[in-house]
Amino acid sequence: MTALQGKLVLVTGASRGIGAATAEALARSGAHVILVARTASGLEQVEDRIHEAGGSATIAPLDLTDGEAIGKLATAVAERWGQLDILVMNAAMLGTLTPVEHIDPKEYARVLGINLLANQALIAAFDPLLRRAKKADVIGVTSSVGREPRAFWGAYGSSKAAFEILLGAYADETDHTGKLRVTVLDPGATRTRMRELAFPGENPESVKSPEVVAERIVQLLSEERATGARVRVD
């Protein structure tokens, strides 16, 4: 038995990269994981690996920009399990790295839709289920460019900066409950598809694997920490 045995976790962006690795690590630790992403085939592969390792998971393919779909998922989770113990908001869109004056408005809207608005919709939909848990954790995956402006990263960086402010406000608003903890997680340089798109000439082996971040997330769930804390994985 582990501290996560029987816990219910929802992970977004769970079809690959940090999301997939985190879902598998949490399942190995005894949690039942709800896998969320747009691509059903990718989720099925992660689910298969979890089941083969003796864990349990449920796939929930959906478009996170569809607020109605998020609401329906929350309703389904409430009907089946009654509460949610852990929410890991990992899904994100990089967008084009370009000078601020060249940002495409339509693409920028999609970046904000995934990286910010979808996460607010997730919090709104699942907040009642998190409050029903004896102790609940919300982990939002961010980026260093959300705090340190970098040339050509204006669109993505501003979406992450807004996400961090959103998480900080939610942490303040729920602190009085004494049962809901928010953590802002900066995974640092990690071997993901997004990293490959952003740094095409980089040797993938020169940065850490998603599994390193996943194991750190599992560790975080058992550590004492104030709500609203920002943690970086080096």
The answer as to whether 141 is a domain residue is yes
The answer, yes or no, to whether residue 2 has pLDDT greater than 90, is no
Active-site position among 108, 153, 156, 170: 156
Domain count of the chain? 1
The answer as to whether 3 is a domain residue is no
The tens digit of pLDDT for each residue in 83-94 reads 999 999 999 999
Which residue in 181, 179, 11 sits closest to 88, CA to CA?
11
Give the structural domain span for 94.
8-232
The answer as to whether 1 is a domain residue is no
Q: In what helix (H) or strand (E) does residue 183 lie, and over which residues does it extend?
A: strand 180-186
Which residue in 17, 48, 53, 55 sits closest to 33, CA to CA?
55
Q: What is the CATH number of the domain that holds 42?
A: 3.40.50.720
What does pTM read for this prediction?
A: 0.96
Average pLDDT value for the chain: 97
The answer as to whether 58 is a domain residue is yes
109-122 average pLDDT score: 98
> Does the CA dihedral 103-106-107-109 come out positive or negative?
positive
- Within 63-138, residue ranges assigned H as helices are 67-80, 105-112, 118-132
The tens digit of pLDDT for each residue in 156-197 reads 999 999 999 999 999 999 999 999 999 999 999 999 999 999
The answer as to whether 2 is a domain residue is no
The answer as to whether 87 is a domain residue is yes
The answer, yes or no, to whether residue 1 has pLDDT greater than 70, is no
156 as an active site residue: the answer is yes
Are residues 121 and 91 in contact, defined by beta-carbon separation less than 8 angstroms? Answer: no
The tens digit of pLDDT for each residue in 195-222 reads 999 999 999 999 999 999 999 999 999 9
> Does the CA dihedral 25-27-30-33 come out positive or negative?
positive
The answer as to whether 98 is a domain residue is yes
